[in-house]
Chain A
Amino acid sequence: MQAVNLLPRDISVPPMLRENPGASVSIRNVSRSFDGNRVLSNLDLEVRPGEFLSIVGQSGCGKSTLLRLIAGLDKPSSGEVLIDGQPADQSGDRLRIMFQEPRLLPWATIADNVEIGLRQGSDPKAIHEALTSVQLSEKAGMWPSVLSGGQRQRVALARALVSHPSLLVFDEPLGALDALTRLTMQNLIRDMHAKAGFTAILVTHDVAEAVALSDRVIVLGQGGILHRVDIVRVGPTSRGSAELAAIEAEILDAIFAA
């Protein structure tokens, strides 16, 4: 599958020298309670610039809560969340979020929806580039209602990428898609991450997805991190290989041990 570069073409840049090397995320001693009900307690987590981190765990364990704290949509009850050393809500367009639903404005064209991702008004060239990178440039003038679910989620991805963020957080972005579209989207996200170099944090229910995309997977439960797995890739590992299957089994064990 051909994904279009967000960086100038045919220039391979080592991650540390990229114009946009990705943000670091520091979560320090963070707790979050809802009406006295403690969902996250004293959680510590460091995410390196350019890392692809996945968060898995049982339903209701606080994955979305943690992600909302990282995205600055919510404040911790105690502790702090820093992105490149600054509070999350000051990240502006360097931090972008993708939700389970595309959340496109039905009354705005595809191009206008992507434009929302730009802080500073319209930039037709940037919008065109972002839409091309998700292979939807020919739909720019259409209404979201005529697109398929997968296409809408690709528009949402273009909207998230158009400002060239240094941190992209995803809350089950592919949960509502069919299995085939999901695989295509996974490849798209992986290619984008490899080329654009942003830091990515993905919440997912799909352990195979987490393993296929990430450098590291953490298992969340009982208010904290139950398990961490580093996935070191030496050369291309294909889906369904024995190594990956073993890692998946290990993660599943950790989830159900909770």
Chain B
Amino acid sequence: MSLTDSLSAARNRGSGWRPSLPKPEALLPYAVPAAILALWEIAGATGLIADTVMPRPSIIVGTATQLALSGELFTHLGVSAARALAGLVVGGGIGFALGVANGVSRLSETLTDSTLQMVRNIPHLALIPLVILWFGIGEGAKLFLVALGVFFPIYLNTLHGIRNIDPHLIEMGRAYGMTSRQLFRRIVLPGALPSVFVGLRYGLGIMWLTLIVAETLSASSGLGYMAMKAREFMVLDVVVLSILLYAALGKLADTLTRALERRALKWSPAYAGR
């Protein structure tokens, strides 16, 4: 019996029974990456692509296993993830708080918004030389850069979300006797949430990008450091492995955020039934 046959047989057994294997449709998005990996492996094994140019998947898996067994892999992975998280919490937290403050208070907005809009036009990576002078090459520099990168998308989208709340709903809340606190908790915050999530997902992309740059420039641990050290010693498989791990971490963060978003916005018709 082929895979498809057994799956459809399983489905015919009734709706109460869930097949333990994923449905064939669910595997479709993975078909292209799998094919690329297979071709890559074949090209490497037949010598079409030299392992000194691009090591093939099986070699990288071997290297990953080795590094995992020695514990080195997890140390670097943990350090990078912790830096990313710290930058996200600091930059995202400040961005969210300022977005909320400027969304609800005219005074706060007048005071800070135009300044922030000016700073926003400076690419944050252009600050690297300055940041290294200020913080040296320690953790401070990386935290600063990541936080700064994450700050703007979250600030802008929080502000935008609050500004775009239907004023009719606010008026209804007032007419129904809500206090400012209740207005904020029951109308402003949930109304701005979809936009905050847009900012968060955008910010996550910038977070990884900034971290990669910061870690490859100066670090004594982390994935970027692992890649740079490996480059010096021409250990190509570790370089490729670091790149792949960055991609995996990015994908993981995005998947987690999407799940969170689906939970938090389950009222929205855009998520209904998904």
Alpha-carbon separation in the docked complex, A172 to B191 (Å): 26
Query: In chain B, what residue has the closest Cβ to A145?
Result: B269
Given A107-B191, A145-B269 in contact, is the A99-B168 Cβ separation under 8 Å? yes
**Interface-central residue, A107, A108, A117, by most chain B CB under 10 Å:** A107
Which of B44-52, B170-178, B249-257 is near enough to bind chain A?
B170-178
Name the one of A72, A99, A119 contacting B172, with C-beta atoms under 8 angstroms.
A99
Name the one of B168, B176, B265, B268 contacting A116, with C-beta atoms under 8 angstroms.
B176
Q: Does B134 reach chain A (CB closer than 8 Å)?
A: no
Alpha-carbon separation in the docked complex, A246 to B191 (Å): 49
Q: Does A249 reach chain B (CB closer than 8 Å)?
A: no
Q: Does A97 reach chain B (CB closer than 8 Å)?
A: yes
Q: How many residues of A contact B (CB 8 A)?
A: 21
Alpha-carbon separation in the docked complex, A244 to B268 (Å): 45
A113 to chain B, nearest CB (A): 10
Q: Does A93 reach chain B (CB closer than 8 Å)?
A: yes
Q: How many residues of B contact A (CB 8 A)?
A: 21
* In the complex, chain A residues whose CB is within 8 Å of the CB of B272: 143, 145-146
Asked if B169 and A103 sit within 8 Å, CB to CB, the answer is yes
Alpha-carbon separation in the docked complex, A116 to B267 (Å): 17
Q: Does A71 reach chain B (CB closer than 8 Å)?
A: yes
Alpha-carbon separation in the docked complex, A157 to B188 (Å): 23
Asked if A105 and B168 sit within 8 Å, CB to CB, the answer is no
* In the complex, chain A residues whose CB is within 8 Å of the CB of B171: 73, 103
**Segment 258-274 of B: residues with Cβ below 8 Å from A:** 265, 267-269, 272
Q: Does B23 reach chain A (CB closer than 8 Å)?
A: no
**Segment 95-115 of A: residues with Cβ below 8 Å from B:** 96-97, 99, 101, 103, 105-108
Alpha-carbon separation in the docked complex, A119 to B179 (Å): 11
Closest 5 CB pairs of A and B: A103-B172, A107-B190, A107-B267, A145-B269, A143-B267
A sample of 25 inter-chain contacts (CB < 8 A) reads A73-B171, A73-B174, A96-B176, A101-B168, A103-B166, A103-B169, A105-B186, A105-B187, A106-B267, A106-B268, A107-B193, A107-B265, A107-B268, A108-B190, A108-B267, A116-B173, A116-B178, A116-B186, A117-B176, A119-B177, A143-B272, A145-B267, A145-B268, A145-B272, A146-B272
* B contact set with A: CB distance below 8 Å: 166, 168-169, 171-178, 186-187, 190-191, 193, 265, 267-269, 272
* A contact set with B: CB distance below 8 Å: 71-73, 92-93, 96-97, 99, 101, 103, 105-108, 116-117, 119, 143, 145-146, 159
